[in-house]
Amino acid sequence: MTSSNFVMPGDRVSSIEDLAKTKRVILGPGLRRLDDKVVASKAGPLRHKEPNTFWVDNYQRRYVPARGDLVLGIVRAKAGDVYRVDIGSADVATISYLAFEAATKKNRPDLNPGDMIYARVLNANADIEPELVCVNSNGKRGKLGVLQDGFFFKCSLNLGRMLLRENCPALGALNEELPYEIAVGVNGRIWVKAHTPRDTLGLVNAILSLENAGYAEIEKVCGNLTEVMQT
């Protein structure tokens, strides 16, 4: 992954166009195709992942649902056969009460307004409400489901994504400090749980201190996490 250059909305990205003449190219968020032209639709650094994926890593706090994303949501209301869940997107998401492990029409999951769930986006379309599920294709819960206790806070979408990069040193650095449990949604919402409230708040401060760290500085900031947690 390299950060080569910045693009602004409307910029043509000719490097991708050239590449697309010979092989297939995956255009991620922030890039649009207009016939044979590739145009940026967001402002930020253009990212590239081998072999052929491109996207714009812009700063954003508003989540735009995309199929397959893992998100944190807060149950807002029961509405007939579905729960309405706030995932920070423009529209409230829905989750069917059958989309939980071992749920049946008679045996509904015990969810109440205010509960926190970790779910996968099943359906994301500009014209309809996003739909969530808490089971995988085998009907198993896996890592999804209700989150008990803990502490919840919001951050930028970039921070959530940065923590989830495969080689991100932050979570490992925190692990050296104390045992904890975490759920990071790509919708810029994080839930953490440690043994004591003091530890939990330390974690929250440490994670939020990474907000302004770029790809390059992150390792340096992670070295200082201990200090942040103790203050």
Binding site for other proteins (CB under 8 A): 1, 20-21, 23-29, 33, 38, 47, 49, 53, 55, 64, 66-70, 118, 124, 137-138, 142-144, 157, 160-161, 163-166, 171, 174-175, 178-186, 193-195
Rounded to the nearest whole angstrom, what is the least distance from the CB of residue 181 to other proteins in the complex?
4
Q: Nearer to other proteins by C-beta: 111 or 168? A: 168
In what order do the strands lie in the sheet containing 44-49? 2-7, 44-49, 53-56
Rounded to the nearest whole angstrom, what is the least distance from the CB of residue 204 to other proteins in the complex?
16
DSSP-derived letter for residue 129 is E
Rounded to the nearest whole angstrom, what is the least distance from the CB of residue 189 to other proteins in the complex?
10
Q: Nearer to other proteins by C-beta: 87 or 157? A: 157
Rounded to the nearest whole angstrom, what is the least distance from the CB of residue 79 to other proteins in the complex?
26
Q: Nearer to other proteins by C-beta: 165 or 220? A: 165
Q: Nearer to other proteins by C-beta: 78 or 199? A: 199
Closest CA to 101 of 74, 141, 138: 141
Q: Nearer to other proteins by C-beta: 165 or 198? A: 165
DSSP annotation string for 87-127: -SSSS-EEEETTSSTT--SSS-----TT-EEEEEEEEEETT
Rounded to the nearest whole angstrom, what is the least distance from the CB of residue 168 to other proteins in the complex?
9
Give the rounded distance of the alpha carbon of 221 from its chain centre.
21
> Rounded to an integer, what distance in angstroms lies between the CA atom of residue 44 and that of residue 57?
6
Q: Nearer to other proteins by C-beta: 67 or 220? A: 67
Rounded to the nearest whole angstrom, what is the least distance from the CB of residue 116 to other proteins in the complex?
12
Which CA distances in Å does 111 have to 69, 79, 105, 223? 22, 12, 14, 40
Q: Nearer to other proteins by C-beta: 163 or 221? A: 163
Rounded to the nearest whole angstrom, what is the least distance from the CB of residue 92 to other proteins in the complex?
19
> Rounded to an integer, what distance in angstroms lies between the CA atom of residue 223 and that of residue 230?
13
Cβ neighbors of 35 (< 8 A, separation 6 or more) are: none
Q: State whether residue 185 is helix, strand or coil.
A: strand
Contact, 109 vs 75, CB < 8 A?
A: no
> Rounded to an integer, what distance in angstroms lies between the CA atom of residue 69 and that of residue 49?
19
